[in-house]
Amino acid sequence: MQRHLAPIALTCVALPLSAQGPADGLRLFGAATSNQVHLVDSNSNVVHTWFSSLRPGLSADMEADGTLLRAVDVTPFTSGGASGGLQRVAFDSSIRWDFRYDSGGVLSHHDLEPLPNGNVLMIAWEEKTQAEAIAAGRNPASLTPGFFRPDHIVEVQQTGPTTGTVIWEWHVWDHVVQDFDPTQSNFGVVANQPERIDINYPVAVPLNGDWTHCNAIDYDAERDLILLSSLHNSEIWIVDH
C-alpha cells in the first residue's frame, strides 16, 4: 500500500498590534539604569517624570495619593537586586521619606509592596554565619565562603522623614526543615512538611550566599495574605500576615 502526503496550505494573517488595543490607564516605568521614573499613558506619551540623585532599585509603585514609592540602591554590595533603602517621592520630586534598611547584617533588595495602612513591605537578606547554617542542618559540603543569606520580610511604618519602625516581620529561617542532620531539632521528612523550606535545597548557592533569592512580593488585602516569590526554589510562598 502506498502512502501519500497531502499538501496543506496554511495561511497566516498578521494582525496589527492595535487590534487588541491597550488597556486604559497609566503605566509606571523605572529603568534599572536610570535615576528617572516615568508615568506613561496608553499612547506611550510621558505624562510625568520623577527625578532622583540616587541609583534605582528594582521596584517602583504608585500609591493611592499619587506619591511614588521606589527602591533605591545605596549599598556597595553587588548581588543582583541589592537595594538597601526606599523613598517616597512627591509629584514634584521632593522626598517625603528616605529610609534605609542596610545595617546590622540586613539588606533590603528587589521588590517593595505598599499596604493599605500606609506601611511598606520590604524583602531583605539577613546574614547567617557558616556555623549557624550548619547548626540549622545545612550540609557543610554545600556551603560557600562567607555568609549564608536567607530572606525575610519586614513591614515598616514611617515615623519621620528618614526613620521607620519595623512593626511586623517574617523570616525564612524560622521555617526550615532538613533531613541531613538527625541531631538538630528541625530534622524530619521534608516531603511531609510542605509548609516548611528545605535548608539543603538548592544544593548550589551563589558565592554571595543568596540562598532563596526572593525577588517579588504582593499583598492580598481581602485575605490579609502576603505572596512571596522565590527564584531559587521555583515556588511562590503564601504567608499569613
- Asked whether residue 101 carries a pLDDT value surpassing 90, the answer given is yes
- Asked whether residue 153 carries a pLDDT value surpassing 70, the answer given is yes
If one compares 174 and 14, the residue with the highest pLDDT of the two is 174
Span 91-118, average pLDDT: 96
What pLDDT, on a 0 to 100 scale, did the predictor assign at position 125? 97
What pLDDT, on a 0 to 100 scale, did the predictor assign at position 179? 98
Q: Place 169 in a pLDDT band, splitting at 50, 70 and 90.
A: very high
Top mean-pLDDT range of 13-17, 73-77, 169-173: 169-173
Kindly list the domain boundaries of the chain, sorted by start residue: 26-240
If one compares 216 and 42, the residue with the highest pLDDT of the two is 216
If one compares 198 and 55, the residue with the highest pLDDT of the two is 198
What pLDDT, on a 0 to 100 scale, did the predictor assign at position 55? 86
* Model pLDDT for residues 201-237, shown as the tens digit of each residue: 999 998 899 999 999 999 999 999 999 999 999 999 9
Residues β-bridged to residue 176: 197
Q: Place 23 in a pLDDT band, splitting at 50, 70 and 90.
A: low
d(CA 202, CA 98): 35
What pLDDT, on a 0 to 100 scale, did the predictor assign at position 16? 53
What pLDDT, on a 0 to 100 scale, did the predictor assign at position 201? 97
Q: Place 4 in a pLDDT band, splitting at 50, 70 and 90.
A: very low
If one compares 27 and 6, the residue with the highest pLDDT of the two is 27
- Asked whether residue 3 carries a pLDDT value surpassing 60, the answer given is no
Least confident of 30-34, 38-42, 176-180, 188-192: 30-34
What pLDDT, on a 0 to 100 scale, did the predictor assign at position 79? 81
